[in-house]
Amino acid sequence: MAKKSKNNKLKKSITSEELQDLQNLVKTINSFQMELGSLELKKQGVFAKVEKASELLVSLQNSLELIYGEVNIDINTGEITAR
């Protein structure tokens, strides 16, 4: 903060405009922090969904391998080719 001048020693509080500016900036920062927290929770939710989908994929791959053996499967056409 700026140095205190001799005139500021007599003041007991900041001006109402300065207070309003200060309050608005603190509210803005708090709002951004809340938004970041919300985004982080959403991100964690998406990570959990990706993990679950990956587990399901591995399970399906294992099932297909039991049926068809160790082969390559084209995910666009379903065509099976040898590895």
pLDDT at 53: 98
% of the chain residues with pLDDT over 70: 90
Are the C-beta atoms of residues 72 and 83 closer than 8 Å to each other? yes
Q: Strand locations in the chain, DSSP E? A: 71-73, 80-82
Q: How far is CA 22 from the centre of its chain?
A: 28
pTM: 0.67
Contacting residues for 65 by C-beta, under 8 A, at least 6 apart: 71
pLDDT at 9: 74
Token pair 């587990």 is found at: 55
pLDDT at 39: 98
Q: In whole angstroms, what is the distance from residue 28 CA to residue 45 CA?
A: 26
Domain boundaries, the chain: 16-82
3-31 pLDDT, tens digit each: 665 665 788 999 999 999 999 999 999 99
pLDDT at 11: 86
